[in-house]
Structure 1
């Protein structure tokens, strides 16, 4: 049974005059322990990035890089056909951008978590995952890598002993392979059902799949997407039930559980 868990969400995903989701980053931030900050390719811009870093510092939330495909129109949820070196160069570019804004506020970067279709690509493509991890390990060997357990990127990280944090997706479905069922749009979910799903995962290490069977799940962090309809209600319900159940919400960068 898990006694301590991270709660992460994607932040800073507005862009110029365009608003993503319910535009409630400031409301969500106090309920999470780690923020994945968009870096301008799938969402976000320099003004939004700086504001989000400042907001995270105010609330004492750890920050991470949330790089995506160069796909503002599709919000990074469409696959972009790229060579592994091109893909990794785009990630390095986005890492550097957020690292400078973090430096302005004297904040360390805790983690990196690829976004959307890029996350799924790195979970399944061995060549891209290996090059990404090798490059990341050279640039920032202590930067926690958020990923799915037993994915291609997880295996690549284990080979070079790069620190990983495995995730559980509270607002996504799983299939029998242990992968999340990728979707470009999520309908509103029942907060109590989501909270109970999370609690069961923490207490029993199991999740019910879309096929109706249970599978084991391994994780140190729980993700709830900020653009899921009713995300704030989901976060409140999950956090409240975990705390009532004596499960502490804590960023992994503030613990010794890196591997």
Structure 2
């Protein structure tokens, strides 16, 4: 299968590193004019340099802006008023006991993980429907089904993304616009590597070894029995953004390595 996104403009929020960067790289490799987004100008510039080196002649640009705020989204949409592909990747996570999670933390997770995608979709989806063409993807998590007791605040936001994606897909019914959610499982992103670095150093092991042990201990239902790579997650997202995925909409698509113990 050859995915050709030439002539399409794609925006990936929070895409200077991790899964977001891998998605941006995949879309650029498929020929899309790809827009990288990050909070700081420095991180955007650095990521663009890495992307251009990895994908020679890539048609890419970067826009700094914090999409967890209405002001950041307004800045971004002013510079980029229209896109054909929107990947809502912005998200934060972090374990914290439920009884210690403050209102401010709940609000921060809500604004970053939920409202960033709501605001961007509210701006871009209308144009897609008018043009009768487009793709919207929310990067959710297997935590929507396996709510982690040490990250209930996170699991809530990921579940909300599924509701929003499904509702928007129904809103776009009868058009050639699709809206889907992708649910990664344990993924060896930069953020996860940073979390595991201390344990790896203490145990004298490589981070990838500690990551495998983490999955087998804390996600024992995993069929893959290892974390996914960011590229493996990005591959599914690029497909969902392609013309070949035209009959897939309103779906929650798992790339969780079989962590969720379900046949559907």
Q: Give TM-score scaled by structure 1 length.
A: 0.40
More helix by share: 2
Larger radius of gyration: 2
Greater RCO (CA < 8 Å, at least 6 residues apart): 1
Q: Give TM-score scaled by structure 2 length.
A: 0.39
